[in-house]
Amino acid sequence: MSKKQIIALVTIMAGLGYTAGYAQNITQQQEAFKGVIGRTLAESKESWTKPQTAPKGAPNVVWVLLDDVGFGATSTLGGVINTPTFDTLANEGLRYTNFHTTAICAPTRSALLTGRNSHSVHEGGFSHVAMSAGFPGYDGRIPSDKGTIAEILRESGYNTFAVGKYGLTPDEDASDAGPFDRWPLGKGFDHFFGFLGSATDQYKPDLVEDNAHVKPDGRHLNEQITDKAISFIDRQQQAKSGKPFFLYYAPGATHSPHQVATEWSDLYKGKFDKGWDVFREEVFNRQKKLGIIPANAVLPERNQNIKAWNKLTVEEKKLYTRFMEVYAGYLTYTDHEVGRLIAHLKEIKQLDNTLVFVIIGDNGASKEGTLNGTIDLQRAASAKLTLQESLKHNTEVISEIGTPDAIQGNYPLGWAQALNTPFKQWKQDADSEGGTRNPLIVYYPKGIKDKGSIRTQYSHVIDLLPTTLEYTGIKAPDYIRGIKQDSIQGTSLVYSFDDAKAPARHLVQHYYIFGARSIYNDGWKAALPYHPDLIDVANNKEGIPKNYKENVWELYNLKEDFNERINLAKKYPEKLEELKALFEVQAKKYNLYPYITWDDVYNGRIHKNY
């Protein structure tokens, strides 16, 4: 190429905004100029900020985060729903069975992406208007001094991609007019394809690519996000940049609406006819055989809101069984789509150099299907149907379950408890292991030696960011784009990769979701349930006593009673008071004040002065 051609090419690129200096300024930390500026070029000396590169040999990283999956749902953790991809990853990697989330989606996602407690990053509730409030712990706007894993890795020489559910963009910012600083690309991702909210129709999703809404193509969203993830990776590999990549793969599955092709749901026809009581017992026994739970564990009593399966009518059994067949097919289909991604990484010879984390659920199984399940909740809610009327309505439209018409499809509460086996309670219940305990799989062919083994160290979703940084050899930055960064609050799990008996290092953890709360401290746990909750409201119960100031805390020794069957509050009142005081210390430190409750949300007491 001649000098004239080079000059012409540079001029064209400058006009398009693609000069090397421009790209460098938006993707790398910019150093102060260290050269010499004279009157002429001969008297001057150039200086360039050296591009950041990932540590030599740093692996690709994939985070998979499923939505609303109970601890006992998958075959990987003793469940009866087939998840062969997760089984393979776990058999070649590690199963963490004492891993925790926050009990609800947006707080879990904010804590995961930042390595900090959800209230610390202003996501104690949601980024939705009705569920955010003008306080530091609740405004739903992650501050710039709480950098995400994507921002850190991009500044450290990675390409960064996200597909699926984001859930952390304020409603007010979610139009194509922006602002875009709280969209995924504003939080460190090079590319994004998915949806910004908490839930979406799987066939007609509120779909976004990068910084604009796009029209869905009619296929199931799981298939679309997997194709897009593969395309992001392939384009990056074809560029031969030498960079590793980070992929955040977060399908809307298995959050409602439960929508899936009949080829998947029909795999489970008749599989759940014995009902949720037998389901719980079978999964519980299987978990014992696999060593997932202690050999002397006892299954908790069925929740008082749930009928015994053998007390249901034939009509109820038929309806509730169909809900579960669809859900099971949906979960197996989701596993299949993750499998397509894994298979592609193997095909392009990147799997052996990819560190994979799979979090099977951002909280426990969902209570949001209420007692009878939901199909088209908007119609049912607008009609203010009673429980008996909703049962009649669901029976009339049973054929819609799982279809594109099931815009709010979700199983009934009895299946939520079954899917959370061996624990009590469910999603939203920050006081209960059923709300906060989810399985974690860690897979890395080059680095995991103790393949197929179980890890029982107490851990939390904020631990994945420091784990990823330690394993990739990357130091958490003091500054991101000139903004001083707050400290990381999670604890790396790398210490446990090669040592199943290593003492846990994450010793204190608080939980708070709209009134429900708990505090963990080295095996002891104090917990406060909160009412009214969603089930109270759905059951049209009036006069439910509020637990906001009630002294109804519970106390558990999780080292001896891992699934919270024996309340020790009366036996050890001093220990309970100690933990309650610790909770208040955590609350002050991490922005939990003021204690906003479901009662405040239901009665519209927040977000009033925007």
* pLDDT tens digits for range 508-537: 999 999 999 999 999 999 999 998 887 777
pLDDT band for position 584 (cuts 50, 70, 90):
very high
Is residue 306 packed enough to be buried (19+ CB in 10 Å), middle (13-18) or exposed (0-12)? middle
**Would the pLDDT of 226 be above 70?**
yes
Both tokens of residue 488?
């990381």
Both tokens of residue 439?
């399985």
pLDDT band for position 197 (cuts 50, 70, 90):
very high
Both tokens of residue 54?
């990932």
**175 alpha carbon, distance to own chain's centre:** 23
Partners of residue 213 on adjacent β-strands: 208
Is residue 450 packed enough to be buried (19+ CB in 10 Å), middle (13-18) or exposed (0-12)? middle
Range with lowest mean pLDDT among 338-347, 539-548, 572-581: 539-548
pLDDT for 51 equals 85
Count the Cβ atoms, other than its own, within 10 Å of residue 588: 10
How far is residue 440's CA from residue 587's CA, in Å, rounded to a whole number? 27
pLDDT band for position 543 (cuts 50, 70, 90):
low
pLDDT band for position 327 (cuts 50, 70, 90):
very high
pLDDT band for position 386 (cuts 50, 70, 90):
confident
The whole-chain average pLDDT of the chain stands at 92
Range with lowest mean pLDDT among 4-18, 183-197, 511-525, 542-556: 4-18
> For the whole model, what pTM was predicted?
0.94
pLDDT for 19 equals 34
Q: Per DSSP, which regions of 348-490 are E strands?
A: 354-359, 440-443, 453-455, 459-460, 479-480, 483-484
CA distances 268 to 159, 322, 598, Å, are 40, 9, 36
Pairing verdict, β 94-96 and 453-455:
parallel
pLDDT band for position 382 (cuts 50, 70, 90):
low
**Would the pLDDT of 7 be above 60?**
no
- Residue whose C-alpha is closest to residue 444's, from 278, 244, 145: 244
**Would the pLDDT of 554 be above 50?**
yes
Taking residues 500-514, report their average pLDDT: 98
Q: Which residue has the higher pLDDT, 88 or 13?
A: 88
How far is residue 477's CA from residue 231's CA, in Å, rounded to a whole number? 30
Please say whether the beta carbons of 534 and 598 come within 8 A: yes
How far is residue 67's CA from residue 53's CA, in Å, rounded to a whole number? 33
Share of the chain above pLDDT 70, in %: 91
* pLDDT tens digits for range 250-268: 999 999 999 999 999 999 9
Q: Which residue has the higher pLDDT, 217 or 602?
A: 217
**Would the pLDDT of 8 be above 50?**
no
**Would the pLDDT of 22 be above 80?**
no
Range with lowest mean pLDDT among 211-215, 336-340, 388-392, 577-581: 388-392
pLDDT for 548 equals 59
* pLDDT tens digits for range 410-467: 999 999 999 999 999 999 999 999 999 999 999 999 999 999 999 999 999 999 999 9
* pLDDT tens digits for range 64-111: 999 999 999 999 999 999 999 999 999 999 999 999 999 999 999 999
